[in-house]
Amino acid sequence: MDITLMIEKINLGLKPCAIKHLKIEATENKNKTVSINITYFNRLYIDEPVTAMLTRYNEKDNTLYFKSIFERLLKEYKISYEKKEDNQCYVVASYFLNEFDFSNIDRFINSLFQFDPIGCCGKYNECSDAGICLHEDLIYSSCCMYRKNLESGKIFYGKNRNI
């Protein structure tokens, strides 16, 4: 598997507005695996950049290792995996690269970063009219409680109000 291609697919799968707050890079580890790390660096909401590992790739056995926090998403997207005694989910790398719809990668990235919830931001009227969250920061908007209402069809404000 080509790590560069995987990073390219991750970047293409992200909404353009999310890319400006995220840095995706590969780092080689001492044990000859390669980690794909995501750094969130929107200084408006956090003081220091935060980095988390999305996955680790082992070229020797063509495997991606995902932390157990991703197990629900792997099941939801019907990605075959094997869970081992180390509590990680092992995925055949070439299968993931070729079969996963990378337009859903934001859900994996959101799982990496957990921030305190907010009620809503100043765009609540615009979001209500659009019926979706319009906040340009993918990670920060995942903390929005109003976004969760919009996703379940509950609109409290604007021309589409239904509650």
Each residue's pLDDT tens digit, 123-144: 999 999 999 988 878 777 888 8
Cite the beta strand spans of the chain per DSSP E: 22-28, 34-40, 50-58, 63-66, 82-83, 89-92
| pLDDT score recorded for residue 44 | 63
Do the Cβ atoms of 50 and 113 come closer than 8 Å? yes
Run of H or E residues at 28: strand 22-28
How many whole angstroms separate alpha carbon 23 and alpha carbon 105?
14
- Extract the tokens encoding 114: 């957990």
| pLDDT score recorded for residue 162 | 94
Q: What's the residue count for the chain?
A: 163
- Extract the tokens encoding 146: 């109003």
What is the pLDDT confidence band of residue 46, given thresholds at 50, 70 and 90?
Answer: low
Run of H or E residues at 36: strand 34-40
Q: What are the two backbone dihedrals, phi and then psi, of residue 67, each rounded to the nearest 5 degrees?
A: -65, 160
**Residue 26 pLDDT > 70, yes or no?**
yes
What is the pLDDT confidence band of residue 100, given thresholds at 50, 70 and 90?
Answer: very high
| pLDDT score recorded for residue 45 | 62
Do the Cβ atoms of 44 and 160 come closer than 8 Å? no
